[in-house]
Amino acid sequence: MHSIVIILFFLLGGVEASSPPKGKVHIPAGEFSPLYGLDVLQKSFKIEAFDVDVNPVTNKDYAAFLKTHPEWTKNKVFPLFVDSKYLDYWRSDSKYNALSDAPITMISWYAAGAFCESKNGRLLTTLEWEYIAAASETQADASKDPELNQKLLDLYSKPQIDTSKQSVKLGKPNFYGVKNLHGIIWEWTNDFNSFFIASDNRSDGDKSKNMFCGAGSIGAKEKENYAAFIRYGYRGSLQARYATKNLGFRCAYTTSSVVEEKKK
């Protein structure tokens, strides 16, 4: 009898140890062919396993962060790290003109990174974000699905919504269990401006001539995936200090579930 209990204990313990904490989901390792970033003869990138927040970080989450990290409050934050619109809709460090479970916006890349670091996490890379964002509700990679692409284009073409009234609880999970990747906000990535060359191409030679304005689509792998092109174009327009009312973030983590997968 005791041996059966011990075996069950280790079996259940093993399942729990390899599962991500509440509010996060595990993303298994895989290969992904993004719109940009591949060399001429390269077909895909290998994506290492990681855990990620189910939802974007909310106003309530960020208010709790400010209590323990007052250096990021509006009155104390160093101007080098945020622009003048940082937390523009917050009346104080704990009160905001928005739902508590609406995504935090008006947040800079520096502030988003600091929040994730405080949770032993980090911002997703662009490849990781695109990897999970390519999933539909039923497919891990629906990037070539015309129905999904049209759905996203319809979302992106709508007038900007009031993010302060959009609860993250309402979103539907995709194949991986991640919610609200599309439709409510755009999201910071760690290397948000790494795919579009932003310097003057006169100093770079001709290598960057196709990476500006409409010509940026020439280098795209899947030219029918205009929704992804819009995302890359938006990221390429950002600077790390920017804070806008439709830009938020979520965090990624290397945790026990990732370590366990790498051991296999």
Element (H, E) at 30: strand 30-32
Helix locations, 88-187, DSSP H: 109-118, 126-133, 146-157
Q: What is the pLDDT of residue 19?
A: 67
Q: What is the pLDDT of residue 40?
A: 65
Burial class (CB in 10 A: 0-12, 13-18, 19+), 104: buried
Give average pLDDT by consecutive 10-residue segment, the chain, 264 residues: 37 47 92 69 83 97 97 95 96 91 97 98 94 91 82 81 91 94 92 62 40 37 66 88 95 72 54
Burial class (CB in 10 A: 0-12, 13-18, 19+), 88: middle
Domain count, the chain: 1
3-state class (DSSP) for residue 26: strand
CB 29 within 8 A of CB 47: yes
Distances (CA, A) of 263 to 13, 256, 258: 17, 11, 9
Name residue, tokens 């390429």: 236
DSSP for 184-217 reads S-EE--TTTTSSS--S-HHHHTTTTTTSSGGGGG
Q: Which residues contact 213 (CB under 8 A, 6 or more apart)?
A: none
Domain holding 95: CATH number?
A: 3.90.1580
Q: What is the pLDDT of residue 173?
A: 95
Name residue, tokens 């709790």: 64
Q: Are strands 247-248 and 186-187 parallel, antiparallel or unpaired?
A: parallel
Q: By 3-state DSSP, what share of the chain in percent is helix, strand and coil, each rounded to 5?
A: 35, 10, 55
| Containing structural domain, residue 7 | 2-263
